[in-house]
Amino acid sequence: MGYQNISFPEKTKFLVTGSAGFIGSNLVEAIINLGYQVRGLDNLSTGKKENVDLFLHHPNYEFVEGDIRDLDTCMKACDGIDFVLHQAAWGSVPRSIELPLLYEEINLKGTLNMLEAARQNGVKKFVYASSSSVYGDEPTLPKQEGREGKVLSPYALTKKSDEEYARLYTSLYDLDTYGLRYFNVFGKRQDPDGAYAAVIPKFIKQLLNDKQPVINGDGKQSRDFTYIENVIEANLKACKANSEAAGKVFNIAYGGREFLIDIYYHLTQALGKDIQPIFGPERRGDIKHSNADISKAKELLGYDPEWSFEKGIEAAIDWYKADLKALKVV
């Protein structure tokens, strides 16, 4: 269970792109704690400088401020690297509908630059973040790899295209690639601010500040909320996976299903708040229900997530409560 017992050769070096972001900074922390070297790459467009500063004192950490849209930057970042954990991207379905050209540049061209840089530098394995959004309008639950519908947003299209490019880099250039379709990841250091903030940290911050959160739609949409520790496990186990699993994509989730309105009232109870939500319009491009079949990741990656939603949300609430200054609780 978990990833604490995963081992690599002593001098192994990882590159984490998007290392100043939520998922990236947690990966950096986990790799450092395991005793390996890690280089972070981020242009700080959505990542936070404080997430970089957390590790700058550590002898096994090196940070490069740079943009994945620049191939030369990607080439330098991949120099001497064994494993790439590519997390750099712009998220948010609604924002991608507003800014499709920018999403194409960052999420698609940027990923292609990283694939090419990894290939030219002889990287052993290239593990990258995909998304459950690639399932689009396919209604069948649980979501299963190979059964996708029409994508509903530019964000989803960039992730679907990334998967195809990665598959080609495995079949044409022998670069072992592993796509991880994340399902609604949450946990410590996830940003609660901004118009496109993830729902769990946003709810927690607003409730702690005694404000009424807005739920888009009727609250009956469901998600396979996945705690960050499960995602770290998936990335590291993909680095240990057999090459026969390369070129494939994998659902990374816990395999559960939570309704948004239930989560909201769970949080109000946990935080001791009696605040009713405001129901707003549904968001364009959103998938109504999401639940993952994780059997493929279990079989081919040895993925065995130990953090249930209940265990994860308790840990997340504790972390946000301890970080009241960042939440600006008055």
How far lies 293's CA from each of 61, 103, 140, 315, in Å? 35, 28, 11, 24
Polymer length of the chain: 330
Catalytic residue, from 61, 103, 155, 169: name it. 155
Query: What CA–CA distance (Å, rounded) separates 187 from 291?
Result: 18
Phi, psi of 171 (to 5 degrees): -75, -35
103 labelled catalytic: no
Query: What CA–CA distance (Å, rounded) separates 68 from 89?
Result: 9
Provide the angle, in degrees to the nearest 10, between the axes of the packed helices 199-208 and 309-322.
50
Provide the angle, in degrees to the nearest 10, between the axes of the packed helices 110-120 and 71-78.
40
Query: What CA–CA distance (Å, rounded) separates 286 from 251?
Result: 18
Q: Distance between terminal CA atoms of the chain?
A: 40
Query: What CA–CA distance (Å, rounded) separates 143 from 147?
Result: 7
- Tell me which residues are annotated as active site: 155
